[in-house]
Amino acid sequence: MSSNTISPETLKTEYVLPEKCVFSLNPNGFLAAEIDGKVYKRVILTRSLPLSLPDEYICISDIEKNEVGIIKTIADFSKEQQELINSELSQRYYCPIISKIESIKEKMGHFYFDVLIGDTKKSFAVKDITKSIRQHGDAIDVTDIDGNRYRITDFESIEAKSRRKLEPYLY
């Protein structure tokens, strides 16, 4: 090994081991944890790669937002523990899901979306459409002018009419 090579240890990240980490719900319904024997009344979970690997590299922080550890993959945990982790993550990363695009109209540099979120009609405006639409895998995220994010989970599976309306703005 040449002297200027970085040793593998240097790039090694310490992960929280499932056997040393137990999640639970506190009386108010927030996620609590005991990690390496230390009890945290509330912990916050954040994804390192929320779009491409939502179940891996999950960062655990305490209420003061100080990192206490990283989970390598949720799959290493028991089913019950996975449920708790996923429930917390789904709250933090909740995005209204667009089921249908009724119309996209452009006026004065703004794009006005009329969509269905489940059965609820929702209207929002998007300013810079190319920067406000992000494709990742099969999913598409649209961010409106107030910073609210909406998601199409699988672009190919929504009805063709909706697809045609959004297609001109994708690349």
Partner 1 sequence: MGKKEKKNKSQRNEKNKHKFPEPLLKKLEEAGLDTKNLIFCCTGDMDNDACYRNAWLSFDEKGLYVAYGTEKLVKAKHKKHVEPSYTVEEITAIPIDDVDSLETERYVSTGRLIAVKDGEQQSVVRFSVGKLGQFDNLTKAFNSFKEKGEAEIPSSAEPEEKKCKKCGKPCPDGKDFCKKCGKNSAVAIRLFNFFGGYVPHIVAIIAIMLLGSAVTVFIPQVSTRALFDDILANPNGLPAVELIKALGVLVLSIFGIKLLNTLLTVIQQYLTGGIMPKVIYDIRVKIFRAMQRLSVGFYSSKQTGSLMERVISDSNNIYWFFVDGVPSVIIDTATIIGVLALMFIMSWKLSLIVIVALPLLMTALVLGDKFFRRLHHRNWLFGARVSSMVSDNINGQRVIKAFAKENDEFDRFSKASEDLMNSEIKLSVTEATVYPIFEVFILMLSTVVLGAGGVLVAKGEMTAGTLLTYIVYLEMLRGPFDFLSWVSNWWSRCADSAQRVFEICDAEPDIVEKENAVSFENLQGDIEINELEFEYEPARPIIRKLSLKVKAGDMLGIVGKTGAGKTTIANLIARLYDAKEGSVKIDGIDVRDLKLTELRRNIGLVSQDIYLFIGTIADNIRYAKPDATMSEVIAAAKAASAHDFIMKLPDAYETRVGAGGQKLSGGERQRISIARTIIQNPKILILDEATAAMDTETERNIQHSLTKLKAGRTTLAIAHRLSTLRDSDYLAVIDGGKIIEYGTYSELLKQKGEFYKQYKIQSEALKTIGIGTGEAETEEE
Examine residue 102 and tell whether it contacts partner 1 (CB under 8 A): no
**Exposure b/e, 108-136, CB count within 10 A at least 16 = b:** eeebebebeeeeeebebebeebeebbeee
Radius of gyration of the chain from Cα atoms?
21
Examine residue 149 and tell whether it contacts partner 1 (CB under 8 A): yes
Examine residue 4 and tell whether it contacts partner 1 (CB under 8 A): no
Answer yes or no: are the C-beta atoms of 58 and 43 closer than 8 Å: no
Q: How far is the CB of 138 from partner 1 (least distance, A)?
A: 18
Binding partner 1 by CB under 8 A: which of 31, 81, 150, 162?
150
Examine residue 120 and tell whether it contacts partner 1 (CB under 8 A): yes
Report the C-alpha gap between 165 and 101 in whole angstroms: 7
Q: Which is nearer to partner 1, 17 or 118 (CB)?
A: 118
| Of 45, 35, 39, the residue nearest 26 (C-alpha) | 39
* Choices 69-77, 79-87, 142-150, 153-161; region in contact with partner 1 by CB under 8 A: 142-150
Q: Using CB under 8 A as the criterion, which residues of the chain lie in contact with partner 1 when the complex forms?
A: 27-30, 42, 50, 91-96, 105-110, 112, 117, 120, 122-125, 130, 144-150, 167-171
